[in-house]
Amino acid sequence: MHPKFLPLTADAAAAAGAGAVLSSAAEADAAANVCWASLLGGCAPVKRWGLDRRLRQLSEAAGEFAGSRWWFHDGAAYRRRVTHAQGRIEEAISEGDGPEFARAFAGYDHAVASVVVAAHSRRNARIRHGHAVERTRR
């Protein structure tokens, strides 16, 4: 089943071979589905579904895939986008705001997918560059 809340992240992780990100995205997406149903149904409290923990795990998996050096230096703007979007989701949950939850999730999905794509592109560029250097030495 294709994720409803994290389709960009799932597609990017699958294309990049980022298994830990893909697995965390599936878990976060499942928790988001339950949380969404709770928000729509007016059930309280929605925090008990553990979405906040799943989002932290997904953010950490994306950071690990990107590499801590990049994540905390050159990729700091990406990290801030992920953190900000995650905070918007948590705020929407605490306010019981379904429409804002959906908007915030779209932003979070885009932010995490961007990290995966950037990290994968960086890796591919290093590989291509490494092969080019190797060929010139021969």
Half-sphere exposure of 24 (CA within 13 A, CB side): 25
Q: What is the pLDDT of residue 131?
A: 52
Q: What is the pLDDT of residue 94?
A: 86
Q: What is the mean pLDDT of residues 45-55?
A: 78
d(CA 83, CA 53) in angstroms, rounded, equals 13
% of the chain beyond a pLDDT of 90: 66
Burial of 5 (0-12, 13-18, 19+ CB in 10 A): buried
pLDDT digits (tens, 9 = 90+) for 103-137: 999 999 999 999 999 999 988 876 665 554 444 44
Are 67 and 119 a contacting pair, CB within 8 Å? yes
pTM of the complete model: 0.87
Going from N- to C-terminal start, the domains of the chain cover 7-137
The tokens for 109 are: 């999905």
Q: What is the mean pLDDT of residues 23-42?
A: 90
Q: What is the pLDDT of residue 133?
A: 42
Q: How confident is the model at residue 18 (pLDDT cuts 50, 70, 90)?
A: very high
* Helix, strand counts (H, E) of the chain: 6, 0
Side chain identity, residue 83: T
% of the chain beyond a pLDDT of 70: 86
